[in-house]
Amino acid sequence: MTRKYSYSLLKLNHSVCPHAHIPQEKVINMASPTEIRKGRVIVYQGAPHLVLEMLHRTQGRQAGFVQTTLRNLQSGSTTTTKFRSTDNVDFMHTTTQKLEYSYKDAEGHHFMDLETFEDTVLQEDMIGDDEIFLVEGNSYDILLVDGEAVRLELPASVEVKVVEAPDAVRGDTAGNVLKPVTISSGISVQVPLFIKQDEIIKISTSDKSYLGRADKK
């Protein structure tokens, strides 16, 4: 069985009207905006929104507010809005499922449940720039809302293969000299001179920086 998900198709089992009412059983609780965190799903203008970014701000003696960037999980559109500290926010119930990345084709990115062998497909709009960190055979956490996949949650680092690595230039030995190499996803990463082609390295998913050689298995 294959499940396919795209922001443009995600309905979360209720109306796609931007002011549609979300059944109360799908909402965990109503809480203060201070509980908003990146990766949580809230109800905004009647639709489920994923919190992409958030920042607490204060205005002198006035009450503070939370500045947020949200993605509508029905349309895929993003919006920036702020919540006053006196506002109430509805949080939706979410879970995560660990799936193994299999491959990419015209349908999208395929992830497999290793227990049921069920195939889950996340289309391009749900992966975005995170595609460069997808490695076949690696497991990833998938965020679910109402049982439907809405987001790929990357680990802090991933292990990738170096597919192209130029030889170090003779004389480049002073200080922390780096060189560019190409990893399996096609992007360039700055690494120490001793890294060679076909080595497995760890890189950060936050800034693509080199973290070290992967542990030998």
3-state class (DSSP) for residue 79 = strand
pLDDT for 134 equals 93
pLDDT for 10 equals 54
pLDDT for 179 equals 94
Reported as type and span, the H/E element at residue 105 is: strand 94-105
* Contact present, 89 and 82 (Cβ < 8 Å): no
* Contact present, 66 and 83 (Cβ < 8 Å): yes
pLDDT for 5 equals 64
Those residues whose C-beta lies under 8 Å from the C-beta of residue 60, and which sit 6 or more positions away, are: none
Those residues whose C-beta lies under 8 Å from the C-beta of residue 123, and which sit 6 or more positions away, are: 4, 5, 6, 107, 108, 109
Reported as type and span, the H/E element at residue 127 is: helix 124-127
DSSP calls for 35-73: G--TT-EEEETTEEEEEEEEEEEEETTEEEEEEEEEEET
Reported as type and span, the H/E element at residue 109 is: strand 108-112
Per-residue pLDDT of the chain (217 residues; tens, 9 = 90+): 777 666 554 554 443 333 344 444 455 566 788 889 888 899 898 888 989 899 988 766 767 889 999 988 877 789 999 998 888 888 888 889 999 999 999 999 999 999 999 999 998 878 888 999 999 999 999 988 877 888 888 999 999 999 999 987 665 555 678 999 999 989 999 999 999 999 999 999 999 999 999 987 6
Tokens representing 15 are 């109306």
Buried b (16+ CB within 10 A) or exposed e, 133-155: bbbeeeebebbbbbebbbbbeee
Question: For the chain, which domains are there?
Answer: 7-92 (2.30.30.30), 98-148 (no CATH), 157-213 (2.40.50.140)
pLDDT for 13 equals 44
Quick: pLDDT tens for 140-175: 999 888 778 888 889 999 999 999 999 876 655 556
pLDDT for 14 equals 40
